[in-house]
């Protein structure tokens, strides 16, 4: 018999992990893919990358190059 508390905790941890991946990495990759596809198709519309994680990396790189 399974302990239902352990199953619930495991499911919550799984949702937290998948949510973190989506917020930090997968959404950024989807936006970059859309920008790259628009370049290949020759369209001028682009989407701005709005990931907080990515802007943190850019700010850190700018600080390192100073």
Question: Where do the structural domains in the chain lie, given as residue ranges?
Answer: 4-64
- From the list 46, 52, 53, the residue with the least C-alpha distance to 31 is 46
pLDDT per residue of the chain (66 residues) written in tens, 0 to 9: 567 788 889 999 998 888 887 777 777 777 777 777 666 666 555 455 555 555 665 555 555 554
Residue the block writes with tokens 């369209």: 43
């Amino acid at each position: 018999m399974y302990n239902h508390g352990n199953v619930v905790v495991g499911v919550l941890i799984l949702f937290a992990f998948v949510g973190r991946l989506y917020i930090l990495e997968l959404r950024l990759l989807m936006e970059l893919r859309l920008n790259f596809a628009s370049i290949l198709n020759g369209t001028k519309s682009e989407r701005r990358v709005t990931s907080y994680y990515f802007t943190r990396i850019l700010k850190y790189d700018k600080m390192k190059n100073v």
